[in-house]
């Protein structure tokens, strides 16, 4: 039984009028008193004669010397908040024949028998499995999407640069949360093992330091992710309401907002946690006032993005009505634009924004619903954004199709070159009666549909005499696809009217598939 688990169970089940912060401090104080009593009993007891399992304190209960090959039992520790219910219970541990304590112990008689609490723990376990899958899928999809946007230079523009930073913030968020969970598991498993007394440290300082660093990185990445969602909203709003828009100047401001603004709040939070709540992994909020240092700027970003979202919907409605579309088309395009903007701006988070921990009882149904909703959308949001703004983006698909055609054409030319070169060498060797000419042989009907550019390149090679792979450059042109025109993105609905925009990314100033 780990001390960390005890603290969590206690803070979840206590029904006293004492605040969680005071209750936690009371538990820690009682544990320290129990520890001192254990050490004093070790010092006052006479040394054991013969081979024994040495007396020890495993951070949970005080073990006396044990005879080899026996099972030692001691009473449940009195510092447990529910000790009155389990005061007759015992903790069991095996002393091996070699004089060493066995790994683990049986604490079933000291655990609080609360079916509701066990069910609540099982629900939280399912929630964790759900968001672990979500963040893992999002991490894989976002990494691939970021690699695609980086590798195609024609996609480098203001809009996609913002998207790449947003993808990066989602990746950082997923990685930091997965690492934090792994370190917390390591701490819990280390505490449940057979540790000897090591002062007043719950686990090693290195493990605690790594866990705190991961917690700080997680808080920073979550805030940076929300502020890059805010940048997406600000950029979209600027495109719609600003006639002259200098993208280059604004991009540096966006960088400061997305990556710099979170530091203004994370550093003070880290300072107060170190000075006033420097306990374990900093994962619990004893004083909720300190937690508002992180929470308030995130709520501010939600509010601003929600206002921008409402303004964008109004603009879409006015533009769609101005074109006198059919009512069914009007509803469809408006719904499509609205649903696509929700993950981009993080509008889903506004639903339970004001359902805060202080106002909802623990283990209540509303709290579980809010937790499920937040974890589900937060973990899978990165996957949705990668799909909507990269994988089904018509510009990205067009560039990837061009890349595929270039590769396929190169393979076809190489095969035709090898075939033509082998025929030329065979003719020069005298094994062919008809003399080979430099003209292209007559192609059958089945090959009439072959690429004219491919035939031109093969003919120009003069039957392989001047082939040089390093100097042959394939230039493929293709007609722009539907949706990849001057207003191929941010919303095709918004681009119903012509308006001057920056030429840095003239083919895509607005988002595809909205």
Burial class (CB in 10 A: 0-12, 13-18, 19+), 7: buried
Kindly tell me the sign of the dihedral angle through the C-alpha atoms of 9, 12, 17, 22.
positive
Q: What is the pLDDT of residue 343?
A: 77
Total number of residues shown for the chain: 514
Distance CA 232, CA 161 (A): 11
Q: What is the pLDDT of residue 423?
A: 66
How is residue 509 written in tokens?
A: 């100033």
| Residues with Cβ within 8 Å of residue 429, at least 6 apart in sequence | none
Three-class secondary structure of residue 92 per DSSP: strand
Distance CA 416, CA 252 (A): 50
Q: How far is CA 372 from CA 67, 123, 361, 376, in A?
A: 50, 10, 16, 6
Burial class (CB in 10 A: 0-12, 13-18, 19+), 189: exposed
| Residues with Cβ within 8 Å of residue 487, at least 6 apart in sequence | 494, 495, 509, 510
Distance CA 90, CA 95 (A): 16
- The pair phi, psi for residue 90, each rounded to 5°, is -130, 155
Domain ranges of the chain: 3-110, 115-393
Burial class (CB in 10 A: 0-12, 13-18, 19+), 416: middle
Q: What share of the chain is helix, strand, coil (3-state, %, to 5)?
A: 65, 5, 35
| Residues with Cβ within 8 Å of residue 131, at least 6 apart in sequence | 177, 375, 376, 378, 379
- The pair phi, psi for residue 481, each rounded to 5°, is -80, 170
Give me the residue label for tokens 């917690």. 215
Burial class (CB in 10 A: 0-12, 13-18, 19+), 453: middle
| Residues with Cβ within 8 Å of residue 343, at least 6 apart in sequence | 381, 384, 385, 388
Q: What is the pLDDT of residue 262?
A: 94
Q: What is the pLDDT of residue 141?
A: 95
- Which of 20, 32, 14 shows the shortest CA–CA distance to 77? 32
C-beta of residue 493 within 8 angstroms of C-beta of residue 333:
yes
Distance CA 296, CA 93 (A): 48
Three-class secondary structure of residue 105 per DSSP: coil
- Which of 100, 93, 27, 29 shows the shortest CA–CA distance to 61? 93
Kindly tell me the sign of the dihedral angle through the C-alpha atoms of 176, 182, 185, 191.
negative
Kind of pairing between the strands at 70-75 and 90-95:
antiparallel
C-beta of residue 107 within 8 angstroms of C-beta of residue 80:
no
- Which of 476, 479, 480 shows the shortest CA–CA distance to 412? 476
State the CATH architecture for 3-110: Irregular (4.10)
The model's pTM = 0.63
Question: Quick one: DSSP state of residue 56?
Answer: E
Distance CA 486, CA 498 (A): 10
| Residues with Cβ within 8 Å of residue 241, at least 6 apart in sequence | none
pLDDT tens-digit profile, the chain (514 residues): 333 333 333 333 333 333 445 666 788 888 889 989 998 888 888 887 778 898 888 888 999 988 898 999 999 999 888 888 888 889 999 998 888 888 778 888 888 766 667 788 888 889 999 999 999 999 999 999 999 999 888 888 888 899 999 999 999 999 999 999 988 887 776 554 443 333 334 456 677 888 889 999 999 999 999 999 999 888 888 887 776 666 677 888 999 999 999 999 999 999 999 998 887 788 888 788 888 899 999 999 999 988 988 888 888 788 777 765 555 555 566 566 666 777 777 777 777 776 666 666 766 788 888 889 889 989 999 999 999 888 988 888 888 888 888 888 877 777 777 777 676 665 555 544 444 434 444 444 434 444 454 455 444 444 443 444 443 343 333 334 433 333 334 443 444 333 333 333 433 333 333 3
- Which of 229, 239, 242, 258 shows the shortest CA–CA distance to 342? 229
State the CATH architecture for 115-393: Up-down Bundle (1.20)
How is residue 402 written in tokens?
A: 């061009």
C-beta of residue 99 within 8 angstroms of C-beta of residue 87:
no
Kind of pairing between the strands at 56-57 and 70-75:
unpaired
- Which of 361, 352, 462, 469 shows the shortest CA–CA distance to 414? 469
Distance CA 14, CA 155 (A): 56
| Residues with Cβ within 8 Å of residue 56, at least 6 apart in sequence | 63, 101, 194, 196, 197
């Amino acid at each position: 039984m780990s001390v960390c688990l005890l603290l969590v169970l206690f803070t979840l089940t206590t029904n006293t009028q004492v605040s969680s912060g005071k209750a936690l401090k009371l538990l820690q104080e009682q544990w320290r008193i129990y520890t001192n009593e254990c050490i004093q009993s070790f010092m006052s007891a006479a040394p054991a004669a013969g081979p024994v399992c040495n007396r020890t304190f495993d951070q949970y209960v005080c073990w006396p010397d044990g005879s080899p090959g026996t099972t030692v039992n001691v009473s449940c520790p009195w510092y447990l908040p529910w000790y009155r219910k389990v005061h007759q219970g015992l903790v069991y541990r095996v002393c091996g024949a070699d004089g060493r304590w066995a790994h683990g112990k049986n604490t079933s008689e000291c655990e609080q028998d609360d079916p509701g609490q066990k069910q609540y723990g099982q629900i939280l376990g399912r929630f964790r499995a759900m968001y672990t899958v979500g963040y893992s899928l999002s991490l894989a999809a976002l990494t691939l999407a970021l690699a695609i946007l980086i590798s195609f230079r024609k996609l480098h523009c203001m809009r996609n640069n913002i998207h790449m930073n947003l993808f990066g913030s989602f990746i950082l968020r997923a990685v930091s949360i997965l690492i934090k969970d792994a370190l917390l598991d390591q701490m819990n498993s280390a505490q449940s093992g057979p540790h000897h007394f090591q002062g007043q440290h719950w686990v090693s300082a290195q493990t605690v330091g790594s866990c705190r660093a991961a917690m700080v990185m997680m808080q920073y990445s979550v805030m940076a992710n929300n502020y890059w969602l805010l940048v997406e909203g600000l950029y979209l709003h600027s495109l719609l309401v600003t006639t002259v828009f200098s993208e280059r100047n604004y991009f540096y401001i966006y960088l400061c907002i997305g990556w710099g603004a979170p530091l203004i709040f994370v550093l003070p939070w880290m300072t107060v946690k170190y000075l006033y709540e420097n306990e374990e992994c900093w994962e619990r909020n004893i004083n909720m006032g300190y937690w508002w240092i992180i929470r308030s700027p995130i709520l501010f970003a939600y509010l601003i993005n929600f206002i921008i979202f409402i303004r964008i919907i109004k603009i879409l409605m006015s533009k769609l009505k101005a074109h006198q579309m059919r009512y069914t088309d009007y509803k469809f395009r408006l719904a499509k634009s609205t649903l696509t903007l929700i993950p981009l701006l993080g509008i889903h988070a506004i639903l339970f924004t004001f359902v805060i921990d202080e106002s909802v009882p623990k283990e209540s149904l509303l709290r579980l619903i809010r937790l499920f909703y937040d974890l589900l959308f937060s973990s899978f949001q990165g996957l949705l954004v990668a799909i909507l703004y990269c994988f089904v983006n018509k510009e990205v698909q067009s560039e990837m199709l061009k890349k595929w055609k270039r590769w396929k054409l190169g393979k076809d030319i190489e095969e035709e070159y090898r075939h033509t070169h082998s025929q030329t060498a065979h003719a020069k060797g005298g094994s062919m009666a008809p003399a080979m000419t430099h003209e292209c042989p007559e192609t059958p009907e089945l090959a009439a549909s072959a690429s004219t550019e491919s035939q031109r390149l093969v003919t120009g090679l003069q039957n392989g005499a001047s082939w040089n792979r390093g100097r042959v450059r394939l230039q493929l042109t293709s007609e722009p696809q539907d949706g990849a025109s001057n207003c191929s993105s941010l919303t095709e609905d918004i681009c119903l009217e012509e308006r001057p925009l920056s030429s840095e990314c003239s083919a895509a100033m607005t988002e595809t598939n909205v």
